[in-house]
Amino acid sequence: MYKEGLYEFDFKNCECEKFDQKGNIVHGLSAVDFVVETDTHVLFIEVKDYDTLKKKIENTEDGKEKEDLSQHYRNRIKEDLKKFRLNVHLFAEDLSRKFKDSILRKYVSGYKFEKPVIYILILEIDSDSFAAKERNELRLAIVRNIPTFSTIQPRQIEMGNFELLDIEAFSEKYNFPVCLCLEK
């Protein structure tokens, strides 16, 4: 089981690397949350889980904790959505930089890209905050920023595609169980 935010992912028997855990951080490079190697692909997965924090707030009885969580949620939504609404390209660039830097980290470590890479952004945010039109704008902006790496030698990297999914669609499509852990 691998934890990100309030979610626990079961990547089954697949090899998984979590770049942002202690001892695995490279200063100056950003990184996706998980790199998972399946039988057919290498998945670079970034999780943006705004709604889980909202659910935790709703299930918290302690008044001070509820206020602290609410403030954190408001700041997080405000910061990221403000960045998106001011310039969709800057927001997409921030996310695509994580994909690029993660590819670079794997590449310089000598990883042999023998399977196509698929970038996945798992975005959990209610539709009132982030409408379908905004999701589509974000998806298109990220696609424009995704590296192709088609000329890197001697290890060629075959790029699959980019997917913008919610947690349920991700779990169903890739058959990885995901659970929401609201307890401390």
Tell me the two tokens of residue 68: 């602290």
User: CA 179 to CA 171: how far, in whole Å?
Assistant: 10
User: CA 117 to CA 126: how far, in whole Å?
Assistant: 28
End-to-end CA distance of the chain: 16
Query: Among the listed ranges 4-8, 60-64, 157-161, which one has the minimum average pLDDT value?
Result: 157-161
Q: What is the mean pLDDT of residues 108-137?
A: 79
pLDDT attached to residue 178: 92
**Span 169-184, pLDDT tens digits:** 999 999 999 988 766 4
The answer to whether 165 and 178 have CB atoms below 8 angstroms apart is no
Q: Give the pTM.
A: 0.77
Collapsing DSSP to helix, strand or coil, 149 comes out as: coil
**Span 62-104, pLDDT tens digits:** 778 777 777 776 666 666 666 666 566 677 778 888 888 888 8
pLDDT attached to residue 156: 64
**Percent of the residues in the chain that have a pLDDT greater than 90, as a whole number:** 17
Residue 5 in this model has a pLDDT that exceeds 80: no
- The average confidence (pLDDT) of the chain is 77
Residue 155 in this model has a pLDDT that exceeds 60: no
